[in-house]
Amino acid sequence: MPQTSTTNAGVVAGPSHSDNLYLKRFSGEVMKTFRNLTVMASRHRVRQIDSGKSAQFPAIGTAAAEYHKPGDVILGQSVAHGEKVITIDDMLISSVFVANYEEAMNHYDVRSEYTFQQGYSMAQAYDQHLFAIATKACVNGDTGAVAGMDPATQENIGVSPTLATLTSAIFAGAAHFDTKNVPANDRFVVVPSTVYWDLIEDGSMLHRDFGNNQASQANGGQLHVAGFQVVASNNLNLNFGVATLAGKRAGATITDYTVDGTATMALLVQKQALGTVELMHMKSEKTYQVERQGTLMVTKKAVGHGVLKPACLRRIAAIA
């Protein structure tokens, strides 16, 4: 008697477990959500390592120019060298327990919601930690790893600033970056989402002098001001470490990501300012738990963050 051959879309060709493709799809959708929702992933320096608990970023001082007198021996000058060490934090995870895994695989709206929530939570923590260390550097006026490097700065524009005051402060920040020889490329300014739409509604940045030909009050769009790309984020002006996930390393809570950033109106950044060391790429795993009659799905990532060039950071705050 002939047998009927069935096809399962979740099965890879050859011997395999029947849900291998489902996990790959789940993991891929989590990573896609993460990339779409984080605003900082592509706007700072990221370094991957295969092993270890930290990585070093070299810091090199500046060389001076001088006149040469005929006959004098040219000996060369010493250039200050240093390093910025970024340590990996404890593993960051987001988990979901599915009591009926077959149902989760077949109902794509359910799976999509799980992937969105895991990717969303990972992206939020990632951006929040980067904004926290940047804010803290500006508040403390941190300097670089080499003597003579300029510090991160902060400009206070009053407790109730107008949009015109904020815009003027951004222009002043651009001039400050120029005086400190911060590269003009890859500059961006992060503002809270409410401020971003206030700027769109105000319309001042939409006229031709700002060059925002693709932005409008009808459709929003990408704003630029004083050479900065304007980026909106709800993760900028938070009480980091209190209203957000505090950092942990070796099981102990750390204060690297703890700072009150609720007064932040804008954060001026150049791409060289911040660095991330990535030990483990984001990946998803699953395991069926017989005792619970369900499947646990975990998305994880092991990274650490740090400030590389404080001079490339400037905070504009609603402080008197």
pTM listed for this prediction: 0.81
Match 């300012």 to its residue by tokens: 273
Q: Interhelix angle for 163-179 vs 193-202, to 10°?
A: 110
How far apart, in whole angstroms, are the C-alpha atoms of residue 104 and residue 12?
A: 19
pLDDT truncated to tens, each residue of the chain (320 aa)?
Answer: 444 443 344 444 444 444 555 566 666 667 677 777 789 999 999 998 888 888 887 777 677 788 888 988 888 877 777 788 899 999 999 888 877 666 656 555 566 677 778 888 889 999 999 999 999 999 999 998 777 789 999 999 999 999 999 999 999 999 999 999 999 999 999 999 999 999 888 877 776 666 676 666 766 678 888 999 999 999 999 999 999 999 999 999 999 999 999 999 999 999 999 999 999 888 888 888 888 878 788 888 899 999 999 999 999 999 99
Per CATH, the number for 20-60+80-317 is 3.90.1690
Q: Which residues of 275-304 are buried (b: 16+ CB within 10 A; e: fewer)?
A: bbbbbeebebebeeeeeeeebebbbbbbbb
Q: Which residues of 83-92 are buried (b: 16+ CB within 10 A; e: fewer)?
A: ebebbbbeeb
Is the separation of the CB atoms in 66 and 288 below 8 Å? no
Of 250, 47, 287, 268, nearest in space to 137 by CA: 268
